[in-house]
């Protein structure tokens, strides 16, 4: 079955960087976009950007541009999301979520990884 | 891009029907048939319930349905069950080639 498994919780100091991984299985890794979405404690969901695992192309939400980098390692079906210059308001659960197949129309996120809690605290 | 507007909470009794609204603009909800809905139980990852306004993925109960009129999308849950108690989030593709979510709605089954 399609599954996304993320790396474990992280605690970082303000100003540091964090890199979260998301390993995909059960489907053709290069055939689907991968998105990152975060959820601050008690808050709603916030879209951060996507990566095309086939060619490494990315598109980031304007809010994160300059601070976010998404990469992939296609042979091992893993995508990474690195966020730098961390602030206390970056404390959130970060999710990877598979998007639609590349070059197809439609818009949804399915499935989602289990989430990675990133805590930013001095 | 401002978040889509959802009611903070809705409630209903078992067996009843409820509807959750999701209001955006002509730049997102009103501009595309690309609204999706997610169910999230406490401490769990979101789960896709409705894609592209009204499509129900395989395995999702037919008690869940979606629709859209103008800049407002809606999720209806019929025959409410205790297991439906969760947070529900809407999402839309936008004219900026980005995605935007609503603030989430807490559904309480009385």
Lookup result for tokens 């474990």: A8
Task: Give contacts of B3 with chain A, Cβ < 8 Å.
Answer: 44
The residue among B51, B68, B99, B105 with the most chain A CBs within 10 A of its CB, best to mutate, is: B99
The whole-angstrom separation of Cα A64 and Cα B54 is 31
Contacts 24+ apart (CB under 8 A), A62-66: A62/B96, A62/B98
Task: Give the per-residue pLDDT at B38.
Answer: 98
B51/A110 CB distance under 8 A = yes
- Dist. CA B31–CA A52, nearest whole Å: 24
Alpha carbon A57 to its chain's center: 14
**Segment A65-118, tens digit of pLDDT:** 999 999 999 999 999 999 999 999 999 999 999 999 888 888 899 999 999 999
Chain A contact for B97 (CB, 8 A cutoff): yes
| Residue A42 forms contact with B (CB below 8 Å) | no
pLDDT digits (tens, 9 = 90+) for B1-38: 679 999 999 999 999 999 999 999 999 999 999 999 99
Chain B residues near residue A97 by CB distance under 8 angstroms: 46
What integer pLDDT is reported at residue A105 of this predicted model?
Answer: 83
Instruction: Give the minimum alpha-carbon distance from B47 to chain A in angstroms, rounded to a whole number.
Output: 7
Mean pLDDT score across all residues of chain B: 96
Choose the closest CB to B100 out of A47, A106, A114: A47
Q: Which residue of A has its CA nearest to B56?
A: A108
Q: Which residues pair with B99 in a beta bridge?
A: B93
Is the distance from CB of B110 to CB of B12 less than 8 angstroms? yes
């Amino acid at each position: 079955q399609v599954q996304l498994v993320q790396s474990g919780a992280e605690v970082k100091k303000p100003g540091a960087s964090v890199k979260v991984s998301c390993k995909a299985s059960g489907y053709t890794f290069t055939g689907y976009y991968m998105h990152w979405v975060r959820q601050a404690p008690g808050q709603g969901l916030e879209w951060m950007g996507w990566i095309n695992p086939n060619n490494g192309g990315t598109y980031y939400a304007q809010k994160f541009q300059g601070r976010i980098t998404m990469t992939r390692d296609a042979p091992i079906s893993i995508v990474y999301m690195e966020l730098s210059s961390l602030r206390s308001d970056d404390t959130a659960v970060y999710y990877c979520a598979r998007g639609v197949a590349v070059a197809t129309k439609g818009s949804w996120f399915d499935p989602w990884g289990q989430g990675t809690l990133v805590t930013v605290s001095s | 891009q401002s978040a889509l507007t959802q009611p903070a909470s809705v409630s209903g009794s078992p067996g009843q029907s409820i509807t959750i609204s999701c209001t955006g603009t002509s730049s997102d909800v009103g501009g595309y048939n690309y609204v999706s809905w997610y169910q999230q139980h406490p401490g769990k990852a979101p789960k896709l319930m409705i894609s592209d306004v009204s499509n129900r993925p395989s395995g999702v109960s037919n008690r869940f349905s979606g629709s859209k009129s103008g800049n407002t999308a809606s999720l209806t849950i019929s025959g409410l069950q205790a297991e439906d108690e969760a947070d529900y989030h809407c999402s839309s593709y936008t004219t900026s080639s980005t995605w935007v979510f609503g603030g989430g709605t807490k559904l309480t089954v009385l």
